[in-house]
Structure 1
Amino acid sequence: MRSLNLHLKILIATLVTLGIAITAYQILALGIPVTEDETDDLWNIDAKVEFIANPKDTVKVQMYVPPLSRDYISLNESFISNNYGVNVNRADGNRKVTWSARRANGNQTLYYRLVLTKRYSGEKAKIKGPIFRDSIVVEGPEKIAADALLAPIRQHSADVETFVSEAIKRVNNLSDDNVKLLLAGDTSVQNKARITETLLSIAHVPVEKVHTIRLVADQPQSPELWLRSFNGKDWLYFNPETGEAGLPQDRLLWWTGNDNLISVEGGKKATVSFSLNNSEMNAIRLAKLTDESTDADFLEYSLYSLPLQTQQTFMIMVMIPIGVLVILILRNLVGLQTLGTFTPVLIALAFRETQLGFGIVLFTIITALGLSLRSYLEHLKLQMLPRLSVVLTFVVVLIAAISLFSHKLGLERGLSVALFPMVILTMTIERLSITWEERGGGHAMKVAIGTLFAASLAHIIMSIPEFIYFVFTFPAILLILVGFMLAMGRYRGYRLTELIRFKAFLKEDAERETPK
């Protein structure tokens, strides 16, 4: 017995732990939303390119577009132009679109439109980057100034991150004479980034420029410069004015390197203006779109990968164990008497179509008339199988009659009574009749009311949309339910109704023990 108890405890602990672990992995690692109402941001970015084309020259416009290799994924990307050829190429970790036309004249306008969202969890590509670079040649006074700045940087840094951050801070100290010499009067962010890159190259620390767009709705945006360096494992991002490490969450990497955003051959006065707006989309729907766009494993092994019609079936099926658990608690802990465990659950499923109030009325009418027929057949001394056959046929005829009269009266809800499980109703009538004969009409009515109450409560719980979504999205919860059911299988204590029933005895015992 002791080994059996240990085996059961291990089994329960394993099931519960496995269920919690799988669910936690889906929520924390895969990022699956816990509620159906949860939404995610959807960003729409328009880049408007304007320039003046030379009348007799061929036109070639090249512009960097986001590589989408970090935290964002594209749901839609379009290149809008009139009489221009479009080609997209990858080079050095960047993506560049090329618009080309043989002839164009006057003001020209091209559009690049991108719809993106946060990248859902999944295995990201292995990150690679340089960990060494050759020194940029610096001579004369600039060499002396650079060495003077590098000495304290080396002293106050311990790794790549602190080295780069310290270098940026030193370059932004405009009161330092060495910095003034290197900047040569140009204190722009671009020049400070260039001097920082030069200093770091002397120390053989690779660093590159990163151009980002800030995701803020309804505000004009322009590319924002950052610096980044590879520490052997990850890219480290730095603000080129403060040295602060870490790229903010609302920054979208657009391109890297020293080149300009746009270049135009056969035209002049090229400008790019950005406009952004965001909207919200249901998180699960967005996850499906993301999964279709990327071959990610986000929902590949979930019930959402099934065909839509099959999903609707499983939404009902996964709630059946919940209904069974409700009946189990009502019977084993509360002490409610019902006609078995599965009969109330199947009746609860029928209530999905008839709705609760109308379903209770129909169940009561059919069961009452069926009991009357069963009582009449008992006087004919029929065997069980013929008797059940007659009752089943009567139930079918009764269901058809109720549906017909409901339709004639304009009560379309009554048509759904046809979805009532006929065999279950037949067996319910048979078992209630036997209970009536063996234990009396009062007990039979108590069991019938208990069955109806349990079915109603199970239906209410099984119909909660948030509950359906959670169980369908995280089916590993059912493993936890199995563990709880196994634990209840060894429960031998009093039921709630028994405590109420025996309350008088406890009161009498207390009175006897009280000294007079």
Structure 2
Amino acid sequence: MSSSSSGKKWPLYLGVAFLVLLGSWSIYKKATVYGYSLTQRAQEPVWLVEAAISFRADGEPVKVSLAVPKDSSAFHILDEKSIAPGYSVSLQEQDSGRRAIWSKRSAEGPQKIFYRLDVFDAVGGQVLLQQDPPPTPNKPRFEEPYNTTALDLVASIHERSADDDSFASELIRQISQYKRNEALQTLLELDPDLVSLTRKLLALEGIPSRLTRGVSLEKDSRLEPMRQLIDIYTGDAWELFDPTTGKKGIPSRFLLWQRGESSLLDVEGGRGSKVSVSVIQKARPTNELILKRKDLTESALWDLSVYTLPIKEQNVFKKLFVIPLGALIVVIVRNLIGFKTSGTFMPILLALAFLETKLLPGLIILFVMIAAGLGIRSYLSKLNLLLVPRISVGIIVVIFIMAAMSIISFKMGLETGMRVTFFPMIIIAWTIERMSIAAEEQGIREVLIQLGGSLFVAVIVYLTMSNKHITHFMYAFPEANLIILGIILLLGVYTGYRLTELHRFQPLVENTKKGE
């Protein structure tokens, strides 16, 4: 490299040094001052739970009331806040529990309100809720022939049970397997809601029950309805039952949101209201970090942080922050090692699809689509179509292949095959076109080399993106992407030999050895 060439590149080297130093300083600052851990294992989880309320206002005064959770022996609330521009908000303790109440003098059109809270595991475990015996519920009466069916079902379960606890357990077990019970199938024609039907059958036996809502913290989720369980008074305390699984007790890592008969959401001055919940797991900070973060929420810098976004968008960025690492892998494999791929960043898109389908099923789906697409493309080549119409036909063909695979997978009971839509159809169609042209001009060997290189890189990127420790690090320290950016800029000016090209010098090495 000449001195003049090096002189022209000094701004690039200076920029790379700045990016690396800035990213390293930011990581060091967050790890040492704010308590972020570099590894996932060293931290305790904190769950950010967000309830999204949506409705359409009628141009009148609006009042929104939402039941909200409170501290328990299992989970403590670290922080809670409301995101509702233009609304006033208050938290009130009522006989039915805590409620968040938003109000506004006048509103019209679609409205969005977010209630957000951080909770962490208190390690105390859920405890039974002791309470004085509630009144015996009124026995419902169904129309015939459903009433006779219900009475016979309750009587048969009563004979096989010893007390209210065993009766409730047996009923819930049969409810969870209703497809094998003709009586329950008949009753579900009248009331298709499993929770509602279960409570009615309990009332026939004289057992009090109530609806309980909660949120599972086992995995990240976006905009899902709250999970419904049944609280049953079995003689000494209220106990939870899951009518869909038949399990007794509070599920693992389950945040109890509301217990009792009061409504979850009330909206005055609006219509079409609904509430959905998103969950994302983050690193648990130290006590000092908790206090500092409450102060940071008021700063302009924190207001620009990704952590202030709604959880749905945060879950998206959790994957996006790992993509630059995949780009670095592609650059290293192509520019330093010298592997050929079908398309520059197609391996990253394939890796993202593999994250949804899992690796082996994803490879099978990809091979089937490419094989079918190449077969149809070979026929289209005989029609001598122009490039753009040919690509358009390829896209339509890929869509039909995806639809066929989804339908066949559904009929066979294979859920993975129905995730074929996660593969980028435009990229698949373009890949089929390029591979077909390469086969015609350079031979099938070149096609296999490119396909093998693409799959090799895609697998490496998939293994990187699916690693929990790497995902945690890139999400907790997105500043690491500044370092990756600097490395890619340095690799961008590399013009030396690739590793796969070094074999050309083997004869020269052998001749040199003979000369010695």
TM-score (norm 2): 0.51
How many Å apart are 1:291 and its aligned residue? 4.6
Q: 1:41 to 1:504 in 2, by over 3 A?
A: closer
1:14 is the counterpart of 2:18: yes
CA contact (8 A) 1:75 1:293 kept: no
The aligned residue for residue 312 of structure 1 is 315
CA contact (8 A) 1:392 1:422 kept: yes
The number of equivalent residue pairs is 281
Q: 1:31 to 1:301 in 2, by over 3 A?
A: farther
The aligned residue for residue 434 of structure 2 is 431
Matched residues in 1 for 2:287 and 2:312: separation? 16
- Aligned-residue sequence identity (percent) comes to 36
Q: 1:359 to 1:41 in 2, by over 3 A?
A: closer
CA contact (8 A) 1:75 1:289 kept: no
The aligned residue for residue 399 of structure 1 is 402
Matching of residues 383-422 of structure 1 within 5 Å: 383-422=386-425
How many Å apart are 1:508 and its aligned residue? 3.2
Matching of residues 87-486 of structure 1 within 5 Å: 284-286=283-285, 291=290, 295-297=294-296, 302-486=305-489
CA contact (8 A) 1:336 1:450 kept: yes
How many Å apart are 1:33 and its aligned residue? 2.1
Q: Which amino acid aligns with 2:335?
A: N
How many Å apart are 1:287 and its aligned residue? 6.1
**Deviation digits for residues 489-510 of structure 1 (CA, Å, limit 9, x no counterpart):** 11122211112x2253233322
Q: 1:375 to 1:293 in 2, by over 3 A?
A: same
CA contact (8 A) 1:36 1:283 kept: no
Matched residues in 1 for 2:121 and 2:449: separation? 60
Q: 1:41 to 1:401 in 2, by over 3 A?
A: closer
Of 506, 509, 512 in structure 2, the residue corresponding to residue 510 of structure 1 is 512
How many Å apart are 1:9 and its aligned residue? 1.2
Larger Rg: 1
The aligned residue for residue 31 of structure 1 is 35
Matched residues in 1 for 2:371 and 2:288: separation? 52
1:490 is the counterpart of 2:489: no
Matched residues in 2 for 1:443 and 1:116: separation? 55
Gaps of 5+ in 1: 43-73, 77-114, 118-281
How many Å apart are 1:40 and its aligned residue? 6.3
Q: 1:489 to 1:116 in 2, by over 3 A?
A: closer
How many Å apart are 1:462 and its aligned residue? 1.1
CA contact (8 A) 2:343 2:431 kept: no
CA contact (8 A) 2:438 2:447 kept: yes
Matched residues in 1 for 2:485 and 2:295: separation? 31
Matched residues in 2 for 1:354 and 1:457: separation? 16
Q: Which amino acid aligns with 1:409?
A: M
**Deviation digits for residues 80-132 of structure 1 (CA, Å, limit 9, x no counterpart):** xxxxxxxxxxxxxxxxxxxxxxxxxxxxxxxxxxx999xxxxxxxxxxxxxxx
Of 2, 6, 29 in structure 1, the residue corresponding to residue 6 of structure 2 is 2
Secondary structure in structure 2 of the residue aligned to 1:35? coil
Matched residues in 2 for 1:414 and 1:40: separation? 35
Matched residues in 1 for 2:310 and 2:362: separation? 30
Secondary structure in structure 2 of the residue aligned to 1:34? coil
Q: Which amino acid aligns with 1:309?
A: K
How many Å apart are 1:303 and its aligned residue? 2.8
Matched residues in 2 for 1:304 and 1:391: separation? 41
CA contact (8 A) 2:44 2:283 kept: no
CA contact (8 A) 1:407 1:414 kept: yes
Matched residues in 2 for 1:19 and 1:34: separation? 14
Matched residues in 1 for 2:436 and 2:287: separation? 52
Secondary structure in structure 2 of the residue aligned to 1:401? helix
Q: 1:384 to 1:330 in 2, by over 3 A?
A: same
How many Å apart are 1:391 and its aligned residue? 1.0
How many Å apart are 1:361 and its aligned residue? 0.9
**Deviation digits for residues 293-318 of structure 1 (CA, Å, limit 9, x no counterpart):** 97322776543332211111001111
**Deviation digits for residues 359-415 of structure 1 (CA, Å, limit 9, x no counterpart):** 111111111111111111111100111111111111111111111111111111111
Q: 1:506 to 1:294 in 2, by over 3 A?
A: closer
- Deviating more after overlay: 310-319 vs 1-10: 1-10
CA contact (8 A) 1:367 1:425 kept: yes
Q: Which amino acid aligns with 2:341?
A: T
Q: 1:19 to 1:476 in 2, by over 3 A?
A: same
Q: 1:38 to 1:368 in 2, by over 3 A?
A: same
Q: 1:406 to 1:30 in 2, by over 3 A?
A: same
Matched residues in 2 for 1:333 and 1:394: separation? 36
Matched residues in 2 for 1:502 and 1:380: separation? 42
Q: 1:417 to 1:294 in 2, by over 3 A?
A: closer
Matched residues in 1 for 2:435 and 2:312: separation? 37
Matched residues in 1 for 2:45 and 2:454: separation? 47
Q: 1:508 to 1:7 in 2, by over 3 A?
A: same
Secondary structure in structure 2 of the residue aligned to 1:296? helix
TM-score (norm 1): 0.51
Q: 1:424 to 1:75 in 2, by over 3 A?
A: closer
How many Å apart are 1:288 and its aligned residue? 10
Matched residues in 1 for 2:414 and 2:78: separation? 47
